[in-house]
Chain A
C-alpha cells in the first residue's frame, strides 16, 4: 500500500471520534468482521489507529477505498462544511428523464478525467436516491490533493445538487459542466442559499418542511397556545393587546406553521426600491430611478428567529404578512420564489426612510 494512501487513511481515522469509530468502520465495510474483532478499541487512539492501518495494509487498500472512508466520514459530519445549492435547468422540449445511475457516473467521471488528467472521483449512493460524489482535484502535472476534496450531493431526477464550498474555486465551472452534462441538463445556476445543514437546505429546496395536512382522518384539533400575557396588568390593557396578539399569532402560524423550521443561517436578497422622505426631503428620496440594494439576513437559526420576530414585534403595524413559506407554484421554475416570499414578509416591517 502506498505511503500516501496509508497517511491519508490514518489522518481520516484520526479525525473520527472514538464513539463513532465502530459505526463508521462497519459502514465502510472494507475490513472484515474477523479483522475488526482483533482490534482492541479500548486502547489509546494512536494504538487503535496503528492497528487499523496495519489491517488496511494487509488488505491492500486503494485510493478509492480510502476515498469511500472519507465520504462516510463526511456523511456523518456534514455540518463541518458549508453547502451551496445549484439548480440545473433542462433545455426546452427535452425528453422524459430516464435517469441511469451507471451512465451518470461514467459520464461524470469521463468529463472530469478528460479535462484534468489527475482527478480522483468516487461515488457513494444513499437510500434517498441521492449520490455523494467526492472529487479530489489535481492538474495536468500534479497528483490530486486528497486533503481538499469537493463533495457533491446530487438528487437524481431532480434539478438540485448541493456542493461543499471549496477553496479551489477555479474548478467550479468544470464541476458545473460535468454535473449538467452527465445529468442531461442544459444549464446550471447557483442559488442564493447556503447553510451548514444539508437537511435544512433539502427541506427548503424540495419544499418538504411543512408536511402537516388537514384531513378528515385527523382528530387532533389545532392547538391553542397561551399568549404569554402578564396577568398583573390592567385588564383593560390586556384586552386591547389580546386582539392584536391573537392576530399576529394567527398570521405567524399560518405563515410558518407548527413544525420546526429548516435551519438556515444566511439569506440574501437584491432589492430595488425608492425611498420616501419625511420632512425636508433628502438626496435619496429625490432620485428618479429606484435604488438597488443588497439585503443580508444572518443568524444561527434564521427562520426560527424570524418566526419569533412577529409576536415580539415592536413595530406598530404588520401590514401584509402575505408570506406563505410553503410552496406556491405558478408554473414558473423560479429559483428565488421562496426568497420572494420571505422578502414580502419583511419589507413592511422595516420603515422606509
Chain B
C-alpha cells in the first residue's frame, strides 16, 4: 500500500505541478497581455508627448517671432503711459484753474459743490461755496455765503425753476459785495493819510461814511462823504452826499470842488477817486516848487 499512496502522492504532485504550470502560463499570458497593453500605452503617451513638445516648440517659435515684431513697441507702451499721465495732470490742472472763470464746481456723492470765485478789477478775491444736493426738490446742503447776502430769497425765486438764473444771480450779489468790500478795504489801507476819522462801514459795505481832507494838515476844508449803495448788485453807489464839515455856505471854488467830488464818487470806484486826489495833490506840490 505504500506504493499506492506514494503513487497517488506522486500523481497529486504531478497534478498540482500541471495546474501550477497552467496557472503560470495563464499568468504569464495575462502578464504578457498586460505588458503588451502597457507597451502600446507607452507608445501612445510617447507619441503624445512628442506631439505636445512639438506644439510647444512651435508656439514658442511663433511667440518669439511675434515679440521680435513687437519688440520696438514696448518702448512705445511706456511712452503712451507717460502721455496718459501727462494728459491726466493737464486735465487736473484745467479743473483746478477753472475757478478763475468765477463759477466752477465739483461733483460730489450727493450732487455738486459749486464754487463762486469773486473778482474786482482783475483782482481775484474771496471764494464762496454752495453745496447742492440733487434731489427733488433741489436743496442746498450747506454753504459759506455770508449771512447778510439774501441767499434764501434768491433760492426761493430761482433754485427750483431755473438753476442757471440762481447761480448767476448769486454770483452778481457776491461779486458786487466783494467789489464794495475791496474798495472800502483799499480806502482804509492805502489812503488812511487822507482820512481825518475812521471809515464807518456796515457788513454789506453798502453804507460808507467818512471825512477826508485833500491835503492833510493843510489849509483845505474837511469834506464829509456819505455813500449809499441801494443796488446790492452794483459796485458803485446810488446816492452820494458830500458836505463840508462845519461850514454853512461855501465859496464858489469850494462848492465846485464839492460838487465834482460828488460826481466822482458816483462814477468811479472809491479807491480810484482817492488815487486821483493824491495825483492832483502831487501836481499841486510840483507847481508850488517850480
Contacts and interface: CB of A to CB of B under 8 A. Distances in A.
A331 B159 contact: yes
Given A100-B202, A331-B152, A213 B144 contact: yes
Given A101-B202, A327-B143, A213 B113 contact: yes
Contacts of A327: 140-143
B148 A331 contact: no
Contact of A156 (B92, B110, B202): B202
Contacts of B139: 328-330
B148 A158 contact: yes
A129 B202 contact: yes
Interface stretch (B45-53, B129-137, B247-255): B129-137
B267 interface: no
Q: Is the interface of B mostly helix, strand, loop or mixed?
A: mixed
Contacts of B133: 324, 328
Nearest to A331: B156
Contacts of B115: 213, 215
A10 interface: no
B286 interface: no
Q: Is the interface of A mostly helix, strand, loop or mixed?
A: loop
A216 B93 CA distance: 9
Contacts of B220: none
A283 B142 CA distance: 43
Given A155-B147, A215-B113, A96 B200 contact: no
Interface residues of B, number: 41
Contacts of B209: 100
Interface string B103-137: 01010101001010000000000000101010001
A302 B91 CA distance: 44
Contacts of A328: 133, 139-141
Nearest to A334: B152
B206 A96 contact: yes
Nearest to A160: B147
Contacts of A330: 137, 139, 155-156
Contact of A326 (B137, B142, B148): B142
Interface string B153-195: 1011101000000000000000000000000000000000000
Interface in A73-130: 95-102, 129
Interface string A23-61: 000000000000000000000000000000000000000
Interface string A207-226: 11011011111000000000
23 contacts: A97-B148, A97-B204, A99-B203, A101-B200, A129-B202, A155-B203, A157-B148, A157-B202, A158-B148, A213-B129, A214-B108, A214-B113, A215-B99, A216-B92, A324-B133, A326-B142, A327-B143, A328-B141, A329-B140, A330-B139, A330-B156, A332-B152, A333-B152
Given A97-B206, A102-B200, A324-B133, 13 more contacts: A95-B230, A96-B206, A156-B202, A156-B203, A157-B202, A158-B147, A208-B144, A213-B129, A214-B108, A215-B99, A324-B141, A326-B140, A331-B153
Interface of A: 95-102, 129, 155-158, 160, 206-208, 210-211, 213-217, 254, 324, 326-333
